[in-house]
């Protein structure tokens, strides 16, 4: 494990050179910051798990600069996957496809599939082009902690554990990519995310949400362990009146509590998209403020609300 301070830079060429040398680099995407390694270097990929404290049976997503890189990663691109690529690449969508034999087991957790995404974030695109190779990258945080939407959050979690942080702006979505398995007769949404189910169904109508009974569920990161959790206890409420005001309590939701000033922190969001954008950053600010409880208002499971509720429920899990 590294012990010297992590390099901070805005130079994508410097960061890309480190990846090609087998080092770890955190980089911004439109969803959250990712922690990248050369996807074809097993030793480098193992460093991701060590730096994060991540279970080895949790597969990674491979990030590409252009669709042409798919040929080195997957055996085939099913017709449904191609329709999603045409509509959503680049963007916050990960497709689970039959893996190419050259992809290391460390990336896929030994599964016969690999998740692939092409981010649309300008700095991420420039970085991936400079790397010239596919980059395996989960979120750039200690495992189980809230995903980082700012480089400062990456630094707080991983300084001294990784080689470099590419300093971009705050992520503009705040929730991870949607993960869709395209290896079966019907596409399965394994992890709800920044691309809503309804948008996917507009492209491939038979797309559905995976259930706990679907054996393909384990092919997605972020579905098997307690995730996205702050140190504070997360309590879900239907209305802000159910939240108990206290200087060591925080509240986030769409409606305002009667006495917002009575909370240590309070974030009232105008819509679900803003709620999703603020969530992980609010979790981290609540911890920094020493809050013991975070009350989070539930939202309807439609559109982005499906992904938001997934993250809230995982954060609140015992």
Q: Using the predicted structure, report yes or no on whether residue 176 has a pLDDT greater than 90.
A: yes
Binding residues for ATP: 54, 58, 63, 113, 139, 147, 191, 228
Hey, which residues does 166 pair with through a beta bridge? 9
> DSSP per residue over 266-306, as a string?
EEE-SSHHHHHHHHHHHHHHHHHTT-SEEEEE---SSTTHH
pLDDT digit string (tens) for 26-35? 999 999 999 9
Q: Which residues are annotated as a binding site for L-threonine?
A: 31, 117, 137, 177
> pLDDT at residue 195 above 70?
yes
- The C-alpha R_g of the chain, in whole angstroms, comes to 19
| Cβ proximity of 127 and 12 under 8 Å | yes
| Mean pLDDT (whole number) for 228-241 | 95
- Please state the separation of Cα 71 from the chain's center in Å: 24
In angstroms, the CA 121 to CA 248 distance is: 36
CA 233 to mean position of chain CA atoms: 21
pLDDT confidence tier of residue 148, bands split at 50, 70 and 90:
very high
The binding site comprises 31, 54, 58, 63, 113, 117, 137, 139, 147, 177, 191, 228
| Higher-pLDDT residue of 216, 114 | 114
> Phi, psi at residue 86, to the nearest 5°?
-60, -35
What single string gives the DSSP state of each residue in 211-263? -TT-GGGGGSTTSSS--S--SSEEEEESSGGGS---TTEEEEESS--S-GGGS
Report helix, strand or coil for 22: coil
pLDDT reading at 222 higher than 80: no
Average pLDDT (126-145) is: 96
Cα 308 from Cα 276, distance rounded (Å): 6
Per-residue pLDDT tens over the stretch 270-317 = 999 999 999 999 999 999 999 999 999 999 999 999 999 999 999 998
pLDDT score of 4: 79
Which pLDDT score is estimated for 308?
A: 97
**What is the average per-residue pLDDT within 229-254?**
97
Determine contact, residues 304/276, Cβ cutoff 8 Å.
Answer: yes
Residue 225 pLDDT exceeds 70 = no
Which domains does the chain possess? 7-219 (3.90.870.10), 233-316 (3.40.50.11030)
Can you give the pLDDT at residue 125?
98
DSSP-H helix ranges across the chain = 12-20, 42-52, 79-88, 105-108, 122-131, 151-158, 197-203, 272-288, 305-316
Q: Compute the mean pLDDT over every residue in the chain, rounded to the nearest whole number.
A: 95
């Amino acid at each position: 494990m590294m012990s010297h301070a992590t390099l901070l830079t805005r130079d994508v060429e410097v960061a890309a050179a480190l990846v090609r040398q087998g080092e770890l680099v955190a980089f911004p995407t439109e969803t959250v910051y990712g922690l990248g390694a050369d996807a074809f270097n097993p030793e480098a990929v193992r460093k991701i798990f060590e730096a994060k404290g991540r279970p080895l049976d949790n597969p990674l997503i491979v990030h590409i600069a252009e669709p042409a890189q798919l040929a080195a990663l997957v055996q085939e691109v099913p017709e449904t996957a191609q329709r999603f690529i045409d509509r959503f690449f680049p963007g916050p969508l990960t497709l689970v496809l039959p893996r190419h034999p050259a992809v290391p087991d460390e990336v896929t957790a030994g599964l016969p599939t690999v998740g692939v995404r092409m981010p649309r974030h300008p700095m991420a695109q420039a970085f991936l082009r400079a790397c010239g190779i596919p980059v395996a990258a989960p979120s750039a945080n200690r495992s189980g902690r809230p995903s980082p939407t700012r480089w400062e959050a990456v630094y707080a979690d991983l300084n001294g554990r990784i080689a470099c942080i590419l300093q971009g702006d705050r992520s503009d979505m705040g929730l991870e990519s949607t993960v869709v398995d395209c290896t079966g007769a019907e596409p399965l949404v394994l992890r709800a995310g920044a691309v809503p189910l309804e948008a996917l169904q507009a492209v491939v109508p038979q797309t559905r949400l995976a259930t706990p009974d679907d054996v393909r569920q384990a092919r997605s990161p972020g579905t098997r362990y307690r995730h996205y959790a702050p140190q504070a206890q997360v309590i879900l409420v239907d209305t802000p009146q159910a939240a108990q005001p206290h200087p060591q309590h925080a509240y986030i939701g769409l409606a305002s509590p009667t006495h917002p000033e009575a909370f240590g922190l309070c974030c009232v969001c105008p819509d679900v998209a803003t709620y999703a954008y603020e969530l992980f950053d609010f979790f981290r600010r609540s911890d920094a403020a020493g809050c013991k409880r975070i009350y989070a208002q539930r939202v309807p499971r439609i559109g982005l609300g499906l992904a938001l509720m997934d993250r809230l429920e995982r954060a609140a899990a015992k």
